[in-house]
Structure 1
Amino acid sequence: MAYRGGCHTTFHHRYHLVWAPKYRFKVLHGEVRLRVREIIRQVCDEMGVTIVNGALSCDHVHMFVEIPPHVSVSDFVRRAKGRSSCKIQQEFEHIRKRYWGQRFWLRGYFSTTSGNITADIIMRYLDRHTHKNGFSPSA
């Protein structure tokens, strides 16, 4: 287990996050999938969030991330979902027509710390579900 540090902190905060498009429509494929992946990576870079592993299935986003103490989980998810929803609907007309109410993602999300189950179990699960367009750091 590797700890990260800031000016006044040392931490190891890892979260298992899952959220889905509204109605669980299978829209995360092709160019949409690549763009969602890119947007979420940009948000992670801006907020100092490290992607440990992740997968983009056709109907949900699944991530294992390390979030610094000054960033709340809800702020990270809010920004990732909000920015990706806005940009996806601006850039892809078929998505804008399907989600005419301007809400791309379901309202909530699933979050748990890696303390409930080991990080190794989460990593194995994500590795089984990672596609070539997953969030793994080496991709």
Structure 2
Amino acid sequence: MEIGKDDHIHLLVSAPPKLSVTNIMRWLKGISAWHLFRECPELQTSYWKKQGRHLLSPSYYVESIGSVNEQAVAKYIDDQRKKEVKLE
């Protein structure tokens, strides 16, 4: 397994107000880790089975898009991806 230069991802998520950000992030990280451990079982010995080790950072950053329209945020995310590709 090769780890790339990127250490983060951008997501544009729409969720009903009754769902908390904490629960959404817990679900996204949990499902992501489950799939990664399933596809790359060797990660389990390096992360999951070692105390204090995290496959994914326990922290996260979330921002509400407020009055900005969804298309503007989607364009920003796409522009960030393009900048990161150019840096490689």
Same fold (TM over 0.5): yes
| 1:70 matched to 2:21 | no
Greater fraction of residues in strand: 1
Cross-structure match for 2:36: 88
Work out the percentage of aligned pairs sharing the same amino acid.
23
1:46-93 deviation line (CA, Å, top 9, x unaligned): xxxxxxxxxxx8321211111112211111110110121123123203
For structure 2, the 5+ residue unaligned runs are: 83-88
Larger Rg: 2
Greater fraction of residues in helix: 2
Q: Counterparts in 2 of 1:1-139, with a 5 A limit?
A: 27=3, 58-99=6-47, 101=50, 103-115=54-66, 118-119=68-69, 121-130=72-81
Query: Counterpart amino acid of 1:107?
Result: P
Runs of 4+ in 1 over 6 A off after TM superposition: none
Greater relative contact order, per chain length (Cα 8 Å cut-off, separation 6+): 1
Superposed CA RMSD in Å reads 2.9
Work out the number of aligned pairs and report it: 77
CA contact (8 A) 1:85 1:104 kept: yes
TM normalised by structure 1 equals 0.44
